[in-house]
């Protein structure tokens, strides 16, 4: 693949990543405002599934020798996304949850 095609592909991936991140934040905000308890349960399931997938990548060495580094990098980025979108940080524009809803504690993915 030529440099121009690779650069174009990377730009497309960055844009897709940005749009998905924004959409996830919007969906999480709607879920939290509609039903915080149900939202927390769903967030827990998403975080658990993500953590399981990252552990599998490391255990199976799915990305070769770099599997652990890749999984940690992805996990750190997704943890940041989840914390912000799920209302667990003081990010501007993100409302913090008023109180825990009784749902299981979130799973850290990094």
Model-wide pTM > 0.85: no
Q: Give the whole-angstrom CA distance, residue 72 versus residue 83.
A: 16
What percentage of residues in the chain have a pLDDT greater than 90?
73
Residue indicated by tokens 């991140």? 21
pLDDT reported for residue 99? 39
List pLDDT tens digits, range 33-68.
999 999 999 999 999 999 999 999 999 999 999 999
For the CA atoms of 31, 37, 42, 44, what is the dihedral angle to 10 degrees?
A: 130
Residues contacting 21, CB < 8 A, separation 6+: 81
Answer whether residue 95 shows pLDDT above 90.
no
């Amino acid at each position: 693949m030529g440099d121009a095609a690779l650069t174009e592909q990377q730009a497309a991936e960055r844009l897709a990543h940005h749009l998905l991140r924004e959409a996830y934040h919007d969906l999480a905000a709607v879920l939290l405002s509609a039903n915080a308890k149900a939202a927390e349960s769903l967030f827990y399931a998403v975080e658990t599934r993500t953590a399981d997938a990252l552990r599998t990548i490391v255990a199976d060495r799915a990305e070769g020798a770099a599997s652990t580094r890749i999984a940690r990098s992805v996990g750190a980025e997704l943890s940041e996304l989840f914390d912000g979108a799920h209302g667990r940080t003081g990010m501007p524009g993100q409302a913090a949850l008023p109180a825990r809803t009784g749902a299981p504690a979130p799973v850290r993915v990094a």
